[in-house]
Structure 1
Amino acid sequence: MLKNEKYKNESMRLEPRKKLVFFVKQGLDNFLTDIIRNLSLKYDTKKIIVRNYKEIDEGMRWADICWFEWCDDLIVYGSKQKLAKEKIILCRLHRYECFTKYPREVFWDNVDKLILVTDHLKKLLSLQIYDIEKKVNIITIKNGVDMDKYKLLERKTGFNVAYVGYINDRKNPILLLQIIKKLVEKDQRFKLYVAGSFQSLLIKIYWNYEIKKMNLENNVVFEGWQKDISNWLEDKNYILSSSIHESFGYGIAEAMARGIKPVIHDFIYSNEIWDDKYLFNTVDEAVSKISEEEYNSKEYRKFIEDNYSVNLQMDSIERLLEGINKKQEKNKNINRIASESNEKDFYNCIKKMNDFIPYFCKDYDNYNFQSAKIIFGKREVIYSGMELIEYALKNDENKQIIINNIWYHKEIKSFVLPDVIDKSKNKSFIIGFAKELLETKTEFKNGIAGYVFEKKLQEDINKNFLAYNWQRAIPASKFMPLRGNLLIYERYCFASKFINENSKVLEAPCGFGYGAAYIAKFSNNVEASDIVGDNINFAKSVYPISNINWCTNDVTKLNYSENEFDIYISFEVFEHLSLDSIDNYLKEAVRVIKKGGKFIISTPNKSMRVNVNNPFHIKEYTFIEFKNILEKYFKDIEYYSILNSMVISGVNPSSYSLIAVCTK
């Protein structure tokens, strides 16, 4: 019985039906047929064959839930529309998209679920977006076969070998011919029947040439695409697949549902999809599997029933959609907070701070919260009735973790968590510690309440309060207010645009390490240096990230080779250096970056700090002073300004900070 039978009673309800739209290109909708047929009994559905992007706009306005069938340019466009923030956005990734540019271009913040058809696609996708699990919530829903359409016909060994699908490089067609050649040498009755089409003229020419050279004209039967594949499979004994990679293989599954024995090339991750007993690596192994007496039609069908039936697929999709409806309730809380705050940039603020979190869901899952205690934390009143709660933990294993961006609305007593925390199995612990801070009485000063529970740290703060107040912006402490954190984020977000995964990056000084931890999302090789050993110890403990090397270093005498780095980031240190050490600082920058490499530096804009007197700044600079010094060492410089929490091109007299990108 198909899943749609289950929905009949539900479809009679008078509750408003949600609207679900499917976006897909012409000719790529064949995997949607069963899904739409079943869901149309519970949802108002539309399938839009997209010919221009305006059709996406119209469909998104109509729908509550938007399903993009492929991770292609359609989801790239849809994810970047304003409506995407208001709608539930789903994207399904089948296989080939992992090897295209499109996943990198999707605005994943607006995608609620990325649906994979098999688990290993996550590994392939992470090769070009290594932190994809942090960017979007990923779920695997396996493909499904309509078992009613493909009736079991018990059969036995024979001589008819079937191939179903396109013929292209990835399908490895020469292996098909080599196998059938070997079989024909054993018995002339073996034949290869092909239901499909060529996608390459060269492959077609080569295929025909090899058939002739191997004398297989009477043993390879090319029959083209079949409208009724179930009927075509009626007299076949084996389904043969020679691909070098698949995410599934409907042709294989449909044949197995009919009771046909599978013989499948052992491509990478194939044993994640198929049982090892159906796989082969060599021509001889394939011939052996086809020639042997072992044959069990019921077993082949049962494998599909247990793993890839359309009913299992629809159960998973139904649970997904039900969960998404719960997620909409969470969004209502965010909407209420945003509307009551009357702040247009609320969503943007949350997005930026979530993006700045360096941890993955697995980091929260693997942390031992049961033995943890709060070391320090803060509550910050952002708008009326709403607080930002952040804190640091240390457990009995002496491991530390920073918890950022927990929003709490007093009136509705509701927490809004970053997605990376919300999907962690340990989120209840994280909420529990936030409640602990809420229940701990303290004094608010300028909208911030600070907590310190570690005696040694409190003694150091008392002793060096001026330094903490001006210089030691420890994440999740009262010394790192939201506004300051946003300004820091903007600098690092700007710097990240010059970085790719192969860039070797130096940050010096790195302070408490949160900037380097963010940059490590974009580069596979980050050196983070600071002259203060305690800063490095803190960063190592809180951000144990494998692609960061933490070390002590002096920016005026760096312990690195010449031409070692593609990017050197050095924020807010210029003003701390004595005039006689600036020369060494900039000479070292020129020395350690490669030709064509970039030195990205920032410093406060003296022109906007007339009434600000930071006792730890030796000298602050106007733009002209800053420019005159840098141009002694670099000829190619671009200048930027930070204004209204944004980095803008050029120099603005009202900017908080000046940024220079110097190319060697």
Structure 2
Amino acid sequence: MRENKKKIVIAGHDLKFAKGIISILEKDEKFIIKTDKWRGHNVHDEAYSRECLNWADIVICEWGLGNAVWYSNHKLPHQKLIVRMHAQELKTIYPKQFRIENINKIIAISPYIYEEFYRVFKFPREKMLMIYNSIDTKVMNREKKDSDFNLGFIGMCPKLKRLDLAIDIFEKLWTLDKRYKLYIKGKHPQEYPWLWNNENEREFFENVFKRISEAEWGYSVIFDGFGNDIPEWLQKINFVLSTSDSESFHLAPGEGMASGAFPIILNWDGSNTIYPSEYIHQNVNDCVKKILEINSKNEKQDLREKIVNYTKENFDVNKIAAQLKNLLENL
């Protein structure tokens, strides 16, 4: 057994985007991993965080929130600190509270977000790095099951995900062909007390649900609920819709592509720095045209292989983990 393993702490309130990378690091003989799971953006067991800090060679803060503020203020001289940031941080005060001189690298998860962090916070560029979010492309890539007319929408909350626009796309397709269905995967807004207690959010979703219940196509909108079965669920999906007002990365279309489902993206800022331009559209009608165009093709296998290979080349969890490992080994 190696005695010189690098001791790495991964600290943050939400580790779902780092889960696959953590699993790979844990299996690498060069590293030993501890996690410091925070209870919120700025809520943690400080005694346990200090224990982790005193143990670590390297700390990775997942999200640049209160965790990055605390670790950048308490980091010891011999230690290295990496902060991996998404987009939520742009709307918070936390990055302005970083002790930037104690941070070795700031990772942004897309080129657009990289530039936004520089524009807003003026982080030193020599400390900044872009590494995409990761997808377990092997797990996602499963045989499709009679999915041609099935649209998928993953994560309807909050309002900015724009479920209403996804329904607009579906409705136009259903009017042309009654075989189209819209499957919605994820928690209902009522399951998020903070959201349901927000008048604007609640009113938006109540209107959407009323629209569905009163429509002649309402039976073709199916709510599948939340679950850790996305790879299996995607087997019945041929198109994954991404209609958000804004995103930092949006894994849903990427996971869809890895499964062989076609991404249909309404042009949120930065989408063209992540996903292929032929699947990015300016309005609902263009999204509908693209779906009809793809479904008019008798043989889609070449198109499927192209999008699956795109995710392998750009987002595969092993490739992303290798980039992070290279950073860890050379800090």
Alpha-carbon offset, residue 217 of structure 1: 1.8
1:61 matched to 2:54? The reply is yes
Could you tell me which of 103, 109, 116 is aligned with 1:117? Answer: 109
Alpha-carbon offset, residue 213 of structure 1: 4.5
Counterpart CA distance in 1 for 2:270 and 2:9 is 32
Q: In the superposition, relative to structure 1, how do residues 217 and 84 fare at CA in structure 2: closer, same or farther (>3 Å)?
A: farther
1:282 matched to 2:271? The reply is no
- Residue 151 of structure 2 aligns with which residue? 161
Note the alpha carbon deviations across 1:470-523, whole angstroms, 9 max, x for none.
xxxxxxxxxxxxxxxxxxxxxxxxxxxxxxxxxxxxxxxxxxxxxxxxxxxxxx
Q: In the superposition, relative to structure 1, how do residues 312 and 269 fare at CA in structure 2: closer, same or farther (>3 Å)?
A: same
Could you tell me which of 11, 16, 20 is aligned with 2:4? Answer: 16
The residue type paired with residue 304 of structure 1 is: T
- Residue 77 of structure 1 aligns with which residue? 70
Counterpart CA distance in 2 for 1:45 and 1:319 is 16
Identify, as 1 or 2, the structure richer in strand. 1
1:44 matched to 2:51? The reply is no
What TM-score results when the alignment is normalised by the length of structure 2?
0.87
Note the alpha carbon deviations across 1:149-204, whole angstroms, 9 max, x for none.
12242678721100112422221221111111111111122111000123533133
Note if contact 1:226-1:232 (Cα within 8 Å) is conserved in structure 2.
no
- Residue 226 of structure 2 aligns with which residue? 225
Larger Rg, first or second structure (1 or 2): 1
Q: Which runs of 5+ in 1 are unaligned?
A: 1-12, 325-664
Note if contact 2:146-2:236 (Cα within 8 Å) is conserved in structure 1.
no
- Residue 553 of structure 1 aligns with which residue? none
Note if contact 1:98-1:125 (Cα within 8 Å) is conserved in structure 2.
yes
Q: In the superposition, relative to structure 1, how do residues 125 and 214 fare at CA in structure 2: closer, same or farther (>3 Å)?
A: farther
The residue type paired with residue 103 of structure 1 is: P
Equivalences for residues 506-517 of structure 1 within 5 A: none
Note if contact 1:239-1:260 (Cα within 8 Å) is conserved in structure 2.
yes
Q: In the superposition, relative to structure 1, how do residues 221 and 278 fare at CA in structure 2: closer, same or farther (>3 Å)?
A: same
Q: In the superposition, relative to structure 1, how do residues 166 and 208 fare at CA in structure 2: closer, same or farther (>3 Å)?
A: closer
Note if contact 2:86-2:248 (Cα within 8 Å) is conserved in structure 1.
yes
Counterpart CA distance in 2 for 1:128 and 1:53 is 29
1:273 matched to 2:274? The reply is yes
Note if contact 1:150-1:258 (Cα within 8 Å) is conserved in structure 2.
yes
Percent sequence identity over matched residues? 26
Equivalences for residues 369-448 of structure 1 within 5 A: none
Note if contact 1:256-1:262 (Cα within 8 Å) is conserved in structure 2.
yes
The residue type paired with residue 118 of structure 1 is: S
Note if contact 2:11-2:59 (Cα within 8 Å) is conserved in structure 1.
yes
Q: What SS does the aligned partner of 1:223 have?
A: strand
What TM-score results when the alignment is normalised by the length of structure 1?
0.45
1:31 matched to 2:17? The reply is yes
Q: What SS does the aligned partner of 2:48 have?
A: helix
Alpha-carbon offset, residue 34 of structure 1: 1.5
Equivalences for residues 236-275 of structure 1 within 5 A: 236-275=237-276
- Residue 174 of structure 2 aligns with which residue? 184
Counterpart CA distance in 1 for 2:230 and 2:146 is 20
Q: In the superposition, relative to structure 1, how do residues 97 and 216 fare at CA in structure 2: closer, same or farther (>3 Å)?
A: farther
- Residue 304 of structure 2 aligns with which residue? 297
- Residue 481 of structure 1 aligns with which residue? none
Alpha-carbon offset, residue 53 of structure 1: 2.5
Alpha-carbon offset, residue 208 of structure 1: 0.6
Counterpart CA distance in 1 for 2:218 and 2:81 is 51
Residue correspondences, number: 307
Q: Which runs of 5+ in 2 are unaligned?
A: 39-43, 197-201
Counterpart CA distance in 2 for 1:217 and 1:152 is 29
Choose 191-200 or 68-77, whichever is displaced more: 191-200
Q: What SS does the aligned partner of 2:81 have?
A: strand
Q: CA RMSD in A?
A: 1.9
- Residue 199 of structure 2 aligns with which residue? none
The residue type paired with residue 89 of structure 1 is: L
Counterpart CA distance in 2 for 1:172 and 1:126 is 28
- Residue 327 of structure 2 aligns with which residue? 320
Note if contact 2:257-2:308 (Cα within 8 Å) is conserved in structure 1.
yes
Alpha-carbon offset, residue 85 of structure 1: 3.1
Counterpart CA distance in 2 for 1:241 and 1:226 is 19
- Residue 161 of structure 2 aligns with which residue? 171
Note if contact 1:154-1:298 (Cα within 8 Å) is conserved in structure 2.
no
- Residue 375 of structure 1 aligns with which residue? none
The residue type paired with residue 48 of structure 1 is: D
Q: What SS does the aligned partner of 2:137 have?
A: coil
- Residue 145 of structure 1 aligns with which residue? 135
Alpha-carbon offset, residue 127 of structure 1: 3.8
1:133 matched to 2:124? The reply is yes
Choose 166-175 or 58-67, whichever is displaced more: 166-175
- Residue 90 of structure 2 aligns with which residue? 98
Counterpart CA distance in 2 for 1:237 and 1:123 is 33
Counterpart CA distance in 2 for 1:157 and 1:228 is 17
Q: What SS does the aligned partner of 1:85 have?
A: coil
